[in-house]
Amino acid sequence: MSFKRLFSRALGAAPGRLHMAAHSHHLGPDVSFTGQVECWDDAARLADRKWDRIMGAVWPAAQAHAAAELGTGEPGEIVFASNTHDLLIRLVAACPRRAGKPLRILTSDGEFHSARRQFARWEEAGEAVVTRISTESFETFGGRLLAAIARDAHDLIFVSQLMFGSGLVVDDIAPIAAAGRPDGPWVAIDGYHSFMAIDRPFPAPLGDTAFFLGGGYKYAMAGEGVAFMHCPPGYGPRPPITGWYAEFDELGLAPGQVGYAPDAMRFMGATFDASGLYRFNAVQHMLIDEGLTTTAISNHVAALQQRLLDTIEGSALGRAQLLNPPTSGPHARFLAWRSPSAAAWCDQMMRECCITDVRGDVLRVGLGLYHDEADIDAFAALARALV
């Protein structure tokens, strides 16, 4: 079945392109353009009063959609920002720690750059002590991480639910999330590659004891500028990095007072570009209208992934090490092959206007709702020409 009709603008903008990197830059459906225009029109029509509509209708609707997709059922515990790095900074600044001591961070060696780079820089500056659990061998990763958590020697536990490089899934994050306490340690789950790729990846009651970071740039199909964080109640009631929107409902406070919202808005920043929220809501409404749940989209992608694997058998790519073969459980929306030729293959396909991407020696091929069997067959033909 094909859903290309929902992506006519993006596909029509580059008709000769075979975009096989939905995990990297997911093409936006037509309704995301409609959402962008709606944001502009509201600003033109309402001027200063646009914020009444944004904070009174657009923001709450986006919170409800995010909470429903997560499975928490707690829209009030969702706060938005332009990117997850911004939210990470606010979270870490509020995280409890020993007075005068560096923040003790427990994480993996497979985290995305926004966390990996920032943690390394804090470590370099003496502001953090970082323990990194190797993701290999992945079969034992969860047990080794839990053993490190049990030693109770960390202030912040930060780990991806789905590893961005390999596509491997941490199957049960419940015991990790359960380690969180308001006075420390805090647990933060990076769900950038699991949100809307895995059905309800963060169900209640996980949200009572852990943070969750995600965004709209990948499988939510909403583009940039609409990252979010689920904030467990009682954790960090007065974040030290704070913008005036954190007291948006208390603007009558006396000068000099620093008020905070009681819900996730306490982690809010300042004036922001609301267009991502409009796009996110527009895409969510489209999915509802089309009857496309996260599970339905995952099933569509899984069938295409299997067809791809079948059609590249015997090729150089087919002989490479597939890091995340399909399983009966949750799976990444991309396939990841390890090979010393990964970068060369990526370049070769780019010359044929086929977009994949590479991370070190790993070639990643991401599929989405805008792909169909014809795309898989076209990709397989290119894969069979790789050497």
Helices of type H across the chain = 8-13, 30-46, 50-53, 59-70, 84-94, 113-124, 141-150, 174-177, 275-290, 294-311, 316-319, 342-351, 373-383
Report the sign of the C-alpha dihedral through residues 259, 261, 262, 266, in that order: negative
pLDDT digits (tens, 9 = 90+) for 28-69: 999 999 999 999 999 999 999 999 999 999 999 999 999 999
Neighbours of 55 (CB within 10 A): 15
**Amino acid 328: pLDDT:** 86
**Amino acid 331: pLDDT:** 95
Helices of type H across 161-274 = 174-177
* Assigned token pair, 50: 């646009």
Alpha-carbon distance 160 to 168, whole Å? Answer: 10
Neighbours of 266 (CB within 10 A): 21
How do beta strands 211-215 and 227-230 pair? antiparallel
Residues of the chain with pLDDT under 70: 248-256
Whose CA is closest to 324, among 135, 136, 142, 167?
A: 167
**Amino acid 249: pLDDT:** 64
Domains of the chain with bracketed CATH = 4-29+293-383 (3.90.1150.10), 32-286 (3.40.640.10)
pLDDT digits (tens, 9 = 90+) for 81-121: 999 999 999 999 999 999 999 999 999 999 999 999 999 99
Report helix, strand or coil for 338.
Answer: strand
Biggest CA pair distance of the chain: 72
Alpha-carbon distance 344 to 338, whole Å? Answer: 12
For the sheet containing 156-160, what is the strand order? 78-81, 227-230, 211-215, 186-190, 156-160, 103-108, 128-133
List beta partners, residue 158: 188
**Amino acid 141: pLDDT:** 95
Whose CA is closest to 135, among 159, 103, 116?
A: 159
**Amino acid 145: pLDDT:** 97
Alpha-carbon distance 28 to 16, whole Å? Answer: 17
Report helix, strand or coil for 176.
Answer: helix
**Amino acid 286: pLDDT:** 98
* Assigned token pair, 25: 């830059």
Alpha-carbon distance 375 to 47, whole Å? Answer: 44
